[in-house]
Amino acid sequence: MKRENKKGFLLFLLLSFAQSWGIALLIQLGGGLNGWRVYLLSACMLVPALSALLCKAVYRLPWSDLAVRPNFRGNVGWYLLACFGPTLLIAAGAALYFLLSPEQFDLTGNGMALFPGMLLLNLLLSALIAPVANILFCAGEELGWRGFLLTRLLESGSPRRAMLLSGLIWGIWHGPMIAMGHNYGLDYPGWPWLGIFAMLLFCFFVGCFFCWLRLRTGSFWPAALAHGALNGMASGAVIFVAPGAELSPFVGPLPTGIVGGFFLLLAGLLCFFLACPEKVKAEEKAEVC
């Protein structure tokens, strides 16, 4: 990694972590992750992009270092995969979970008995609009992680190494949010370390999928759309859960569980092993694995 790029890398990490963890500290001091403070987490999602733009300004970096060009030409298929791939993988994971735990599946709870058509239509519409509806805040993260950060990491190693490091950094960044109960709650053995470890694994595998979209298109935008689809549909399986069912956030049916997220994790693992330089666009110019 070039000396100026290394400085940009370290400054980006400092800015991203200091601002986001500072917001998390304010949330905790204010009474924890409840009420209106939940919305402050959205501010954290904008921090990576702000940090990347500050680094660009400080080091006078070209826009190409942030992978901001959409590069639609020749990449329509990747954009479609970004928009609908996460939803299909989440649905497959939820189906697997309910197949293994049929007693927790119910079509009469959560309003399904009264409004089945309406709820299913709402779920379908959510799947269609989630990638775009969530684009602002998800682009806030992806401009930083898969735009600026991944570009820096690719300059000093192979795509697989870059995927590994970016996923771990992304997971660690979530640490304070997980400790406050986001995704996994507070009432589980090993809190908060088990939750943070689970998030590290989740961010690595899902991050590999996002990185692969970025590498194949040369743009961070498909990763932002995929992130939006993931966030928008992550809780979709809840409407099929039987009333009173005891769920483990580490199992499913939500994608942050090992079963609910099985196909997402499998897709990420596949992307990791496919990420050799000869399969990546020449723009990246990475070394041989």
Question: Residues 259-285: what's their mean pLDDT?
Answer: 79
For the chain, which residues make up each domain, given as ranges? 68-279
pLDDT at res. 276: 72
pLDDT given at position 269: 97
193-220 pLDDT, tens per residue? 999 999 999 999 999 999 999 999 999 9
Higher pLDDT, 1 or 133: 133
**Residue found by looking up tokens 């602002």 in the block:** 136
pTM of the full predicted structure? 0.92
Instruction: Give the model's pLDDT for residue 121.
Output: 80
Mapped onto helix, strand or coil, the DSSP state of residue 252 is strand
Predicted confidence (pLDDT) at residue 3 exceeds the cutoff of 80: no
- pLDDT of residue 182 exceeding 70, the answer is yes
Residue 267 has pLDDT above 60, yes or no: yes
55 residue type, one letter: C
> Across-strand partners of 105?
241
pLDDT grade, residue 286 (50/70/90)?
very low
CA distance 206 to 264: 7
pLDDT (tens digit, 9 = 90+) per residue, 170-181?
999 999 999 999
Convert the pLDDT of each residue in 82-133 to its tens digit: 999 999 999 999 999 999 999 999 987 665 655 667 777 888 888 999 999 9
Q: Which residues make Cβ contacts (< 8 Å) with residue 107, sequence separation at least 6?
A: 113, 116, 240
pLDDT of residue 39: 83
